[in-house]
């Protein structure tokens, strides 16, 4: 990392080192420095989502289905994810308020205790907007949000374990306000990760006519990663010979009606180049 950036971050941390090999590597109990935990560790998932969400929104808007985007109709799952995300945003902004309450607003603006939760809260609002947009375009699961919630959960676990170990070292057990919020934030983040990875959104306007075939695009993220959406076909093939009705339904972009025109266009273009 650039020395100027490192010095700037360490200045924000009141001179505490951003990286210390004796804390992270040359020790029996490796950990990250408090400055690293307050800044880089909390910024990683935020930067990921803030950088990739405009691309995700652009892809959704450029799809053919975006021209016929539906009004947002919420299911119990989508409402639960929205409430959890708003709760995490509220807790992040509550951290900012506590920092301002302890210090003056001018002093707090340059402290990582204010910058990091403010960035987290803004990112949570962006995540809520991405969820809302994906549901409007009838997306049942989101790989981007799954990665974001996974990184957020990992970062919170690292922060929490460091604080717990720090309490054992202290002679007197003293908890500050932000440390009390951390377990609650971790619980909400784990719940959000679980709902995003293991469930798919349904739409109230679906009247039960949706195909029950095991299809990749209708599977949760974890099912797609573990290939467990294919389990039903394997079980059926073990019990009896498969029939045409047992086969999965291809997604629209894999069907011949979508792929053949693209192939024919590429074939014609290549043929024309060869003739020249």
The HSE-up count of residue 161 (CA atoms within 13 Å, CB side) is 9
Higher-pLDDT residue of 210 and 10 is 10
Give the pLDDT mean for 130-151. Answer: 87
Task: Write down the mean pLDDT value for the chain.
Answer: 81
pLDDT at 171: 52
pLDDT tens for residues 63-82?
Answer: 654 445 556 677 788 889 99
DSSP, residue by residue, 151-189: HHHHHHHHHHHHHHHHHHHSSS----HHHHHHHHHHHHH
The reported pLDDT for the residue numbered 44 is: 94
Smallest CA-to-CA distance from 152 within 181, 110, 124 is with 124
pLDDT at 174 over 60: no
Is the pLDDT at 125 greater than 70, yes or no? Answer: yes
- Across 149-171, average pLDDT: 85
Give the least confident one: 30-44, 166-180, 240-254. Answer: 166-180
Task: Judge whether residue 253 has pLDDT over 80.
Answer: no
C-alpha to C-alpha distance for 138 and 71, rounded to whole angstroms: 10
Of residues 170 and 83, more confidence is placed in: 83
- Tokens 């652009």 label which residue? 58
- When mean pLDDT is compared across 40-54, 73-87, 241-255, the lowest value belongs to 241-255
The pLDDT of 107-123, averaged and rounded, is 86
| Range name among 44-58, 158-172, 256-270 with the lowest pLDDT average | 158-172
What is the predicted pLDDT for the residue at 146?
92
pLDDT in tens, 81-99: 999 999 999 999 998 888 8
Largest CA distance in the chain: 84
- Residue 208: its pLDDT value, please? 47
Q: What's the confidence (pLDDT) of residue 185?
A: 92
What per-residue confidence (pLDDT) applies to 48?
Answer: 94
Q: Is the pTM of this model over 0.85?
A: no
Radius of gyration of the chain (CA): 24
Check residue 22 and give left, alpha or beta (phi > 0: left; psi -120 to 50: alpha): alpha
- Residue 211 pLDDT greater than 90, yes or no: no
Given pLDDT bands bounded at 50, 70 and 90, which one contains residue 19? confident
Question: Of the ranges 59-63, 217-221, 231-235, 253-257, which one carries the lowest mean pLDDT score?
Answer: 217-221
CA distance 195 to 236: 28
- Distances, alpha carbon 228 to alpha carbons 10, 193, 214, in Å: 46, 18, 10
CA distances from 217 to 35, 101, 142, 224 (A): 42, 48, 11, 8
Mean per-residue pLDDT, 50-58: 92
Q: Please report the sign of the dihedral spanned by the C-alpha atoms of residue 156, residue 157, residue 162, residue 165.
A: positive
Q: For residues 165 and 162, what is the distance between their CA atoms, to the nearest angstrom?
A: 5
């Amino acid at each position: 990392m650039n020395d100027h950036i490192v010095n700037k971050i360490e200045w924000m941390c009141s001179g505490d080192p951003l990286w210390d090999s004796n804390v992270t590597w040359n020790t029996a109990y490796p950990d990250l420095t408090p400055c690293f935990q307050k800044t880089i560790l909390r910024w990683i998932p935020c930067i990921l989502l803030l950088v990739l969400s405009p691309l995700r929104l652009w892809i959704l808007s450029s799809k053919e289905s975006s021209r016929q985007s539906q009004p947002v109709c919420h299911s119990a799952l989508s409402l639960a994810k929205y409430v959890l995300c708003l709760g995490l945003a509220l807790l992040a902004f509550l951290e900012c308020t506590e920092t301002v309450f302890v210090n003056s607003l001018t002093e707090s603006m340059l402290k990582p205790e204010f910058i990091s939760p403010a960035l987290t809260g803004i990112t949570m609002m962006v995540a809520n907007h991405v969820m809302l947009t994906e549901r409007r375009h009838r997306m049942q699961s989101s790989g981007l949000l799954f990665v974001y919630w996974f990184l957020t959960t990992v970062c919170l676990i690292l922060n929490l374990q460091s604080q717990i170990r720090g309490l054992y070292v202290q002679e007197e057990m003293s908890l500050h306000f932000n440390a009390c919020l951390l377990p609650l934030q971790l619980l909400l983040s784990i719940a959000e990760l679980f709902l995003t990875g293991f469930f798919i959104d349904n739409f109230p306007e679906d009247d039960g006519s949706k195909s029950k075939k095991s299809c990749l695009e209708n599977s949760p993220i974890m099912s797609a990663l573990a290939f467990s959406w294919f389990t039903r076909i394997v079980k059926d093939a073990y019990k009896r010979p498969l029939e045409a009705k047992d086969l999965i339904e291809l997604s629209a972009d894999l069907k011949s009606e979508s792929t053949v025109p693209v192939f024919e266009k590429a074939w014609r273009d290549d043929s024309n180049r060869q003739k020249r």
